[in-house]
Chain A
Amino acid sequence: EDQVTQSPEALRLQEGESSSLNCSYTVSGLRGLFWYRQDPGKGPEFLFTLYSAGEEKEKERLKATLTKKESFLHITAPKPEDSATYLCAVFNSGAGSYQLTFGKGTKLSVIP
């Protein structure tokens, strides 16, 4: 069974204090790892898809990387508007079912 574990559960950063969020996964044949951002009471907003170990993608202050067992979301010089819950998910196409299996998320708070 696919499993996704995110750490830490919550992270408080000062504005400008860079850090990383971790997503470790167990999946039989990775077909894609996704990062989403979710603001309170809203649907997840797509950030990145990574497909193979060694792959990296960047968007503004965010950079996602992927190894064979985990993914990191690096946040450089965060701003208060980066405060949100960041969700990691793996794509499963086993048994004819195409679904995303999500972790519980990391709640990021950036303090001015």
Chain B
Amino acid sequence: ETGVTQSPTHLIKTRGQQVTLRCSSQSGHNTVSWYQQALGQGPQFIFQYYREEENGRGNFPPRFSGLQFPNYSSELNVNALELDDSALYLCASSLGQSSYNEQFFGPGTRLTVL
């Protein structure tokens, strides 16, 4: 069974640029959630995709957008990067949306905005 994978591992961008981060969910999982984790903080919920539809969004501006594909892999896109976007971006997959379905996290993508 393959776990959650994310790419790239590290990324350096400059202010105003756009970035795309990718996530492959664990085999059989149809739900993907994205989180932003700033240094020394807990992860913050960005949004969730369930069967290719956005299914809930945290307190993040519209320049954070996403997609989920038929194979349940997912992308997180961030436009007009700001310095405060520097963080570890985590993807978590689960089978379904309820709390009875554990969310398994990938290793994350470390984004640095200069």
Per the bound structure, the CA–CA distance linking A50 and B87 in Å amounts to: 29
For A12, the chain B residues whose CB sits under 8 A away are: none
Residue from A41, A93, A102, A105 in contact with B44 in the complex, judged by beta carbons closer than 8 Å: A102
Q: Give, as a whole number of angstroms, the nearest-CB distance from B58 to chain A.
A: 6
Residue from B4, B56, B98 in contact with A97 in the complex, judged by beta carbons closer than 8 Å: B56
Q: Are B99 and A105 in contact (CB under 8 A)?
A: no
What residue of chain B has the Cβ atom nearest to residue A107's Cβ? B40
Q: Are A102 and B105 in contact (CB under 8 A)?
A: no
Per the bound structure, the CA–CA distance linking A4 and B43 in Å amounts to: 12
What residue of chain B has the Cβ atom nearest to residue A44's Cβ? B105
Q: Are A43 and B99 in contact (CB under 8 A)?
A: no
Query: Using a CB-CB cutoff of 8 Å, which residues 59-112 of chain A contact chain B?
Result: 87, 89, 91, 93, 95-105
Residue from B48, B56, B57, B90 in contact with A43 in the complex, judged by beta carbons closer than 8 Å: B90
Per the bound structure, the CA–CA distance linking A89 and B45 in Å amounts to: 11
What residue of chain A has the Cβ atom nearest to residue B41's Cβ? A104
Using a CB–CB cutoff of 8 Å, the interface residues on chain B facing chain A are 4, 31, 33, 35, 40-45, 48, 50, 55-58, 88, 90, 92, 97-100, 102-108, 110
* 29 pairs, CB–CB < 8 Å, chain A vs chain B: A4-B42, A31-B99, A34-B102, A42-B108, A43-B105, A44-B90, A44-B105, A46-B103, A46-B105, A49-B100, A51-B99, A89-B43, A93-B97, A93-B98, A93-B99, A95-B56, A96-B55, A98-B33, A98-B48, A98-B55, A98-B98, A99-B48, A100-B33, A100-B43, A100-B92, A102-B35, A102-B42, A102-B44, A104-B40
